[in-house]
A and B are shown apart, each in its own frame.
Chain A
Amino acid sequence: MRKVNTVDDKLLIELKDLKVHFAIDEGLLKAVDGVDLNIYEGKTLGLVGESGCGKSVTSQALLRIVPPPGRIEGSILFQKSEGGTEDLAALPMDGQTIRAIRGKEIAMIFQEPMASFSPLYTMGNQIMEAIKLHRTKDEAEARAIAVEMFKKVGISNPEKRLDEYPHEFSGGMRQRVMIAMALSCNPRLLIADEPTTALDVTIQAQVLELMKELQKDLGMGILFITHDLGVVAEMCDEVAVMYLGRIVEKAPVDDIYHNARHPYTQGLLRSIPRIGSNLNEKLASIDGTVPVPLGLPPMCGFHERCDRKIAGLCDRKTPPLVEREPGHLVRCFLYGEEAQEADNE
C-alpha cells in the first residue's frame, strides 16, 4: 500500500470552502457547496460520486471554466512553480494570470474523446496550439514536441498521424491524443474527468497503465474524477466521496474500501457486483434517487435514502465533516456526540 500525505508531500492546490452556485429560474442551484480538498504533487486524489453530485463542476472551478451563470466562492490556493500562492477563485475568468495557468500548470482530460476535438483541424494542429501558446513560438520545435508526446503515449508512426484528423482515430487512440495534449506543457496538476468511462475495458487498462507510468515519470498531481469504484481502487492514493455538492467522506484509498464509515459510501460499495462474489446474494441497492440541490433546508443530503438515519437530527441539521481517525474524514452524525445526545433525549 502506498503511503498517503506524509510530511514530505508537497501541497499543490488547496480548495477551501469552495462553492459553486448557479442562479437559475427555479432558484439557487448549489452544485458545489463547501468543498475542502488538498492535492499533493505526485499523488492521485479520487473524486467519486454519482451523476449530479458536483464532481465535474468542482473540476471546472479549478480551471475557472464553470459555465455561466455559475458563481464561485471560497478559495482555490494554487502553489506556483516559482513560489508563492495564487488564489484562482479570485482571478477574473479571462485574465492573463488564469490563462497562463490553464493548460500549462493545470491541464485537463475530458470525458468524451469523441466530442472534445474539433473535427476541422488535424490532431497535430490541435496539440501544437497549446504548445505554441505556452512553450515555444517556433513551429518546427512545437512539432518536435508534439511528435515526442505522441511517442510517449504510445501512438505509432507519430509524424504521419499528427497530420490526420480526429475521425481517423479510434476512441482509445483519441484518448491517448487527449492525454498527450494535456501533458504537452508538463502540467503540475492533471485533472482527469472520467477519462476512461467511454472506453472498453481492454483499452481502459491500456490508458490507466499509461497514466500511472507518466505520473511516475513527470511527478504531477492527479485529480481523478470517476464514478467507477474499480478504477478508483486501481489508481488513487486518497479518495473523496461527494454527495449533493458536499464531501461526505475522505480517506486513504485502503480505508475507503475496508473501513468505510459513511452510510452512502458503504451503500455504494455494496451495490457494485463483484466478480467471484456470492452470486445467490441479492445485490444491495440504495433506495430512492439523488435529490436536486435546489433550495434544500439544512439537513444531511443523504437522510432520505439512509437506513441508519437519526430522526429529528439528520433531517434538521447539516452534519459537519469531522476527522474521526487520522486522515479519515466523515460527514455523518452517527459517529459524533450529537448522535448520543439524540439517543439520550
Chain B
Amino acid sequence: MNDKTKDDILMEVKNLSKQFPVKKDRLIKNAAWLKAVDNVSLQVYRGETLGLVGESGCGKTTLGRCIVRGISSTQGEVIFHGEEGPVNFLDLKGSRLKKYRRDIQMIFQDPYSSLDPRMTVYDIISEPLRINRMGTGEEIDQKVKDIAREVGLNIAHLKRYPHAFSGGQRQRVGIARALATNPSIIVCDEAVSALDVSIQAQVINLLDELQYKYGITYIFVAHDLSVVEYISDRVAVMYVGQVTELADTGELFSRPLHPYTEALMSAVPKPDPRMRMERIVLEGEVPSPIDPPSGCYFHPRCPYRKPICETDKPELREVEQDHFCACHRAEELTLKGA
C-alpha cells in the first residue's frame, strides 16, 4: 500500500463518537457519560488490513461495533465507498441498509459464545445467504460447501453442532459465516486472541490467504501487538477512546512518535531470553473514560510530559507523511521502536 489515492479509499470514519450513559444518581437520569469512542476519524483503504490496538477499555471494540452498526453511534459518519459511490452507512435504512450490511461483516472474539449452540454449522453458515435470498436452495447449498472447503472445514462435519468442534474449528465457522455474503470489508474483533498459539497461526494464515484471494479489507482489532504487526498494513493505536497514533506498520513499529506507543511496545515480552531488556514500565493504569484527565489523556502516565500536556489537548495531526500522531512533543522526541 504505497501509493494511496482518494480512489483507493473503501471506508471513511468521520468524527465518530459513542457515549454510554452511566447512571450514578437515580434522581438525575444519565448523570454521567462514558465516552467509549471520542471523535475518531480514520480512512480504510481497499484491500488493506488496518490494525486497531490498545489496552482493554480503550474503545477499540466499540469502534469496530459502531462501524458494522452492531450498536448505534452517538454521532459521526461512516462513509462506505461501494459500487454505487459513497454512502453514509450510518444513515441507511430498510432494504438499502440490508443490502449494504452484506458488504460489511464481522468476526467475533469468542468462538464459543458467538455461535448458536442449537444450530448446525451448516445452518450457521447458510443463514446469511438465506436471509439475503442469495440464490436458490441448490445454489446456497453449493455456496455453503464451497465456503466451508475454503476455510478448511470438513464438508462431512457440516451437519454437526458447534460443541463438536474445537476452538480453532469454530473460529473457522465464524469466518465462513462472515464470508458467506461476499463482503468487501470484515471487522475482526480479537479474532485470534482466544486461540492457542499453534491454532492462532493457522487462523492468521487463513485470513491472509482469503485476503490475497478475494481482496477483502480487514479492520483487525486486537490487543496483541505482535499479531497486529504481522497481519496489518497500517496500525492505529487507541487510548481512552481516541486514536493517538496512526502509521504504516513498519514505520509505527520502528519509529513510533507517541510515548504511549513506545511504552506499549516495550511492554511486550520478547520471545527470546537473550533479549531481556530494560523496559519502560508505565506507572498507574488507564484512566476512566467517564472522567478522563485534563489535557492529553496520557499525561499522568507519560514519562516525557511537560506543563502544556496537562492543559492542552493535542490533536491528531500528520507529523510526517502518512504518519499521524496526537502528541505535543512528537517532533522533538526520539523514541525507541521495537
Contacts and interface: CB of A to CB of B under 8 A. Distances in A.
Given A201-B55, A201-B225, A267-B198, A233 B272 contact: yes
Interface in A161-178: 170-173
A275 B269 contact: no
Interface size class of A (residues with CB under 8 A): 35 or more
Label chain B's interface by main secondary structure.
Answer: helix
A205 B279 contact: yes
A297 interface: no
Given A205-B267, A285-B201, 17 more contacts: A50-B196, A50-B198, A173-B285, A200-B286, A203-B285, A205-B282, A228-B269, A233-B273, A234-B276, A254-B274, A273-B201, A275-B229, A275-B253, A283-B204, A285-B198, A285-B199, A285-B205
Interface of B: 55-56, 166-169, 196-202, 204-205, 208, 223, 225-227, 229-231, 249-250, 253-254, 263-276, 279, 281-282, 285-286, 338
A286 B226 contact: no
10 smallest beta-carbon distances between A and B, as pairs: A230-B269, A285-B201, A273-B230, A271-B201, A286-B198, A50-B196, A200-B55, A205-B267, A275-B338, A201-B267
Contacts of B338: 275-276
A289 B271 contact: no
26 contacts: A1-B273, A170-B285, A200-B55, A201-B225, A203-B285, A205-B279, A227-B196, A229-B197, A230-B269, A231-B269, A233-B273, A233-B276, A253-B273, A258-B272, A268-B198, A271-B201, A272-B271, A273-B229, A273-B230, A275-B270, A276-B229, A282-B208, A285-B198, A285-B202, A286-B198, A289-B166
B229 to A, nearest CB: 5
A209 interface: yes
A257 B275 CA distance: 11
Contacts of A276: 229, 253-254, 338
Contacts of A231: 269
Contacts of A208: 269
A51 interface: yes
Given A201-B225, A233-B273, A253-B273, A271 B197 contact: yes
Interface in A105-126: none
A65 interface: no
Given A51-B196, A276-B253, A282-B208, A204 B229 contact: no
